[in-house]
Structure formats: structure tokens, C-alpha cells
Structure 1
């Protein structure tokens, strides 16, 4: 089981003192949070991709490449790579380059984003969102697996004899998650390719995401990648932790009430009741997170949203200390003890390389038919 954090990279005024960090301060804070995540023993740091205020992470590869040079263990991921508005050729080359620089500690989460105007900014039409996601990923999948690609589609110019460089590290592309909060087509896409499906269920009720994940699991098995319970599932989450719940709620409430996405909407108590948001003690976070397995089955990756809504960097780093010291060790032990042996661990480059090499050896082994024909 992999545990980590993701950042949306918002620049938000601290409602308790009225101070707004500069873009430079926010970018440097994201780096500091990533380094702290590795320091406290988390497995994954993921950055969002946005191209509009109040967000700063418009270039995840730049951010993650910088973090890669300062870390040695943590997996560096995206919380969204906009498969609809980024050129798949550029994605293929940028993330293969990052994969080499980070010694394989890279994966991606494909998504369509939640900002409609981004489509015309990059020359696309939001009405083609699903079609773009399907066609662009089909091309990206080929670019990472075929040395020379001839291709023609609907949304970009054709390719003739094209080779994306550099080639994926060790001949193995970065692992891909397909993220969705509403679209069954994306769950189907993830299942078709045998990729991971990430349900960032921090906004909508549990039963909605149960339907999406169950669809993905059934279709994963249908396409022959393994049994439904072996499908690779990731979940989002959101926490704020203090030694006792009263202090946690009192401190977090002004940030929740003024958050850029859900501020001035449902009450903190209503939002906690309807979504995975947990504001409370370490034990409350542990108990709530363990219920995710009851709702969604065994899964491979849990990411928490920790730095957003104007929370000061000092507070975020304190949150990571609590996660690393008091929460994650317990969750890791509990989840690993509950997971059946046939259900895979979270994806890593080393595991993907081993699987790739084993498959190559199997394909190279002579069959009884080939031995007979040789005779």
C-alpha cells in the first residue's frame, strides 16, 4: 500500500491573518512539502496541473524534475496531467525525460481537469473532452511502446515514422493512472489498457465513486488483466489533524469556510459527513481511512490533500509530521495485513521492470510446438 500527498497548488489568502503568499513563495512551499513528505516516510508526492489563477503548477515536469534532484526515494507523480489539452507527443517526451532523471520514480495521472476555459486556451473544444482523452491517450500509449510510430487521428496532425525521445527508462513507460470524478468512459479506458484508476473522491458521496470503481474492476477483469479485485485502484482523501478533534475543528474551520473550491458552501460538519474529509485526531483519521477498504475493496494508493486553502507552510509541515509518525505506520500495517496475497502492491518502476523482463522471458521460451517443428 502506497501513501502520499497531493497538492493543487492554489495561492489562497490565509483567512486568519489576511496574508496572501506570492507565487514564488507558494512554489517554494510546494517543494518544501514534497521534501518533507519523503523525510517523514511517505511513498508519493503528486502535483496538480493548472493554467489559471489562483493556481501555480502550470509545468509539473519542471516542478517534479527539481524535486527529483533533491530526493532519492519518493515516487513523483502528477495529480492531473491534462491529456485533453497537452500534446501527447510532448507528454511522451517530457515524462520519459523526467523518468530518466528520477531513476524511474515517476508516474502520471491522466485527467481532463475541471476548468472549462483551458480548452480554447490550448486550441481545443471542451465538447470534445472525452474524445480527446481517448484519442490522445491511445497515441501516448503507442509512443511509449513502439520505437517508430505511424499514426493519424482526428485532433492533431498525422505522424509518419516518428520516434519519441528519449525512450522510456529500461524500456518500461511510467505507470499511468486515469483520474475521474464523474465519467464512466474514463473508468472504461483505464480498464481497457490495464492501467490504474484513481477516484479523487473528496467532493462527492461515497456511493457515486463505488459505482465508478466497481465498473472499472469489472471491465479490468473483462479485458483479461486479472481478477476484479486485482485491479489497481487509488483514492483521494483530505485530512486535518491535531491531537484532539476539538482543536482540529476549531483551527481548520476558517480555512474550510474560505477554501477556493468549496468555501461558502456546505458546513464543515456536513462536508465531513458526506465526503472523506476527516478533521480530528490521529485515531479518527486512522479509523475513517480504514473504512475506505470496506467501501471500495483492497486498493493500492492513498493520497491525502494537505496543503491548500491558505494553510501556512508551518502548519502543513506539522500535518506531515503527524501523518508520518502517528497515522501512516498504523494504516500501512493494517492495510497490508488485510490485503490478500494475490492482490498486488502499489506500482513501482522496479516492479514494472521485473514484470516486463518476466514477460519477455516467457515469450522467448520454446513451446512444445516450436520444439516439434525444429525436430
Structure 2
């Protein structure tokens, strides 16, 4: 099972000091956070994509390409690549380059985006969000898998004789996760192609996440990719920790109350009751996270949000220390208990390459032996 963090890249005033980082400081801090995540023993660093204030990660592959040069092991992903407003050709090119730069430590999470004004900035209409998602992704798959692409759709100009350069590393496309909070069509798309489904499990009650994951698993099996339990599932999560739970609540409360994504809404107590947000001790984070399996089944990837709402970099790095030293080692051990052997691990470039080579290898009785020479 993979554990990691994702960032939304917000530039937010620290409510306890009244100061905010510059955009440059926030971007550099994100690089420091990614490096610390690798140092702490986490498996994945993921960044969102946003084109509106107060967020800065408008060019995720540029950021991840730089981080690739600063790291050696950690998987670099997006927590949203906007399949609706980005051109599929550019997505294919950018992620192929990132694969080569990172040595295959790359996957991608696609999402449709729900910020209405962003769509016209890129010449699109939010009312076409689902059709754009389906058409663009169909093209993206072909660009990564076919040497020469002739394509015609309804929402983008046609392609004739197009060849992607560079080709995907080892001719293995990045593994695709489809991320969604509330859109069942996204879960259906992931199931149809046998891709991963990432339920961004930070705003809605557990019953909603359970419903979305169950639907994806059922449709994954319907399309013949395996049993429902073999579907590839990822979950978001959101934590703030101190060794003493009351200290965690007291320290995090002003950040929660003023956060750009949920501030000035439900109380911290209500939000932690109704959603998976966990504010407390490492033991409480472990207990809450292990409970996710009760309603989603065994899954492959768990990402935590730890660096938003104006939290200082020093505090975020302390959160990563707690994750790496006290939380993730226990989660690895406990999630392995009772995990059925037929539940696959999260796909990686290496595992996809091994699988392809295994498929290409002829059966033993077809291989030439000494007696045939």
C-alpha cells in the first residue's frame, strides 16, 4: 500500500501572525515539503492544478519536473490534472517528458475541475465538463498507446498523422487515477478502462465515499477487469497532529476557521465528526485512517493533506516527521493484516513493465531448449 501527501498549493495568510508567503516562497516551500516527504519515508507526493487565486500550482508538471531532480525515490503525481480544460496532446507530451526525467516515478490523476470561471479561460464551457472528460481522455489514451494517431471528435479539432514525442518511457504510459469528489461519471470512466479511482475523501461524509467506491468496484468487475476487490482505489485524507490531542485542536482551530476551502462554515468539531478530517494525536490518526477500510475495502493508496490554510512550513515539516515516524509505519503493518492475496498493490512503472514483459514471454513449452538446437 502506498502512503503520501498531496497539496492544493494555496497562498493563505497565517491567521496567528497576519503574514502570508509570497508566491515564490510558497512554491519553494512546496519543493521543500516534497523533499521532506521522501526523507520521511513516504511513497507519493502529489500536487493539484489550479489557475485561480489563492493557489499557485498552475503548471504541475513544471513543478514535478523540478522536484524530480531533487529526489530519488518518491513517486511524483498530480492530485488533479484538469482533463477538461487542458489539451490532451499537451498532457500526453508533458507527462511523457516527466516520465523520462523522473525515471518512471510518475503517474497522473485526472479530474474535471469544478471552478466555473476557469473553463472559459481555456476556451471551454463547464456545462460540457463530463463530455469533455470522456472525449479528452479517450484521445489521451490513444496518444500514449499508438505510434500514429488519426482522430476526430466533437469538442476538439481533429488530428491527422500525429505522433507523440517523446514516447512514454519504455512505451509504458503513466498509470492513470481518476479523481472525484462527487461525480459518478468519473468513477464509471475509471471502471470502464480499468484505471484507478481516487475518492478525494476530505469534504463529504463517509457514506458518500462508500457509495462512490462501491459503484466503481461494481462497474470495474462489470467491465471484466477482475473481482470488485481487485479494483484500484485511492483515498484522500486530512490531518493535523500533535502528540497531545488537545494541543492539536487548539493550534489548528484558527487555521481551520480561516481556511479558503472550508473556513467560516461548520465548526471544527462538526467537520471532524462529519468528514474524515482528523485533528489530534498520531494514535487518533492511525485509528481513524484504519477505519477507512471498513467502508471502502482494502485499497491501494492513501494521501494526506497537511500543508494548507496558512500553516507555516516549519509546522508542515513537523507533520511529516510525525507521519513518517509514528503513523505510516503502523498503518503499513496494520493494513497488511488480513489483506487478501488477490488484492493487487498500487501499480508503478516497474510493476507495469514487469507485467508487460511477462505477457510477452512465450510459454515454457514454446521456448527453445538445448534439445532443439
User: Which residue in the other structure is 1:46 paired with?
Assistant: 46
* Alignment-derived partner of residue 23 in structure 2: 23
Q: What are the equivalent positions in structure 2 for 1:169-208 lying under 5 Å apart?
A: 169-208=169-208
1:235 aligned residue: 235
Superposition deviation, residue 76 in structure 1: 0.1
Instruction: Give the aligned partner of residue 127 of structure 1.
Output: 127
Could you tell me how far apart the structure 1 residues matched to 2:93 and 2:29 are? 27
Mapped to 1, the partners of 2:318 and 2:35 lie a distance apart of 13
- Structure 1 equivalent of residue 109 of structure 2: 109
Q: Aligned residue for 1:168?
A: 168
Alignment CA distance shift 1:133-1:362 (3 Å): farther
Deviates more, 1:245-254 or 1:335-344: 335-344
| CA drift at 1:145 | 0.5
Q: Distance in 2 between matches of 1:63 and 1:347?
A: 23
Question: Deviations for 1:115-156, whole angstroms, at most 9, x for unmatched residues?
Answer: 111100000000000000000000000110111111000111
SS at match of 1:161: strand
TM-score (norm 2): 0.97
- Cα distance in 1 for partners of 2:244, 2:342 equals 38
Shift of 1:361: 2.8
In the alignment, what sits opposite 2:369?
A: none
In structure 2, what is the equivalent of residue 371 of structure 1? none
Partner of residue 371, structure 2 = none
Distance in 2 between residues matched to 1:262 and 1:322, nearest whole Å = 25
Secondary structure at the counterpart of residue 338 of structure 1: coil
Q: SS of 2:130's equivalent?
A: helix
- 1:359 Cα deviation (Å)? 2.1
Deviation at residue 52 of structure 1 after TM alignment: 0.7
How far apart, in 2, do the equivalents of 1:339 and 1:137 lie?
Answer: 32
- 2:361 alignment partner, SS class: helix
Matches of 1:282 and 1:362 in 2, distance apart? Answer: 50
Give 1:319's aligned residue.
Answer: 319
The corresponding residue for 2:80 is 80
Correspondence list, 1:1-375, <5 A: 1-361=1-361
Partner Cα separation in structure 1 for residue 69 and residue 337 of structure 2: 34
1:364 Cα deviation after fit: 12
Distance 1:362 1:116 in 2: 52
Structure 1 range deviating more: 6-15 or 154-163: 154-163
The whole-number CA distance in structure 2 between the counterparts of 1:21 and 1:103 is 32
Q: Please give the secondary structure, in 1, of the residue aligned with 2:291.
A: helix
**Alpha-carbon displacement from aligned partner over 1:71-118 (angstroms, at most 9, x marks no partner):** 000000001000000000000011000001000000000001231111
Q: CA deviation at 1:355?
A: 1.1
Q: Distance in 2 between matches of 1:362 and 1:344?
A: 24
CA RMSD of aligned residues (A): 1.3
Separation in structure 2 between the aligned mates of residue 67 and residue 325 of structure 1, nearest angstrom? 23
User: SS state of the match for residue 345, structure 1?
Assistant: coil
Normalising by structure 1, report the TM-score: 0.96
Displacement of 1:303: 0.2
CA distance in 1: counterparts of 2:39 and 2:346, whole angstroms: 20
Cα offset, 1:3, TM superposition? 0.2
SS in 1 for 2:333: helix
Aligned residues: 367
Gaps of 5+ in 2: 367-373
Instruction: Please report how far the alpha carbon of residue 337 of structure 1 lies from its aligned counterpart in structure 2 after TM superposition.
Output: 2.2
CA distance, structure 2, for counterparts of residue 353 and residue 185 of structure 1: 29
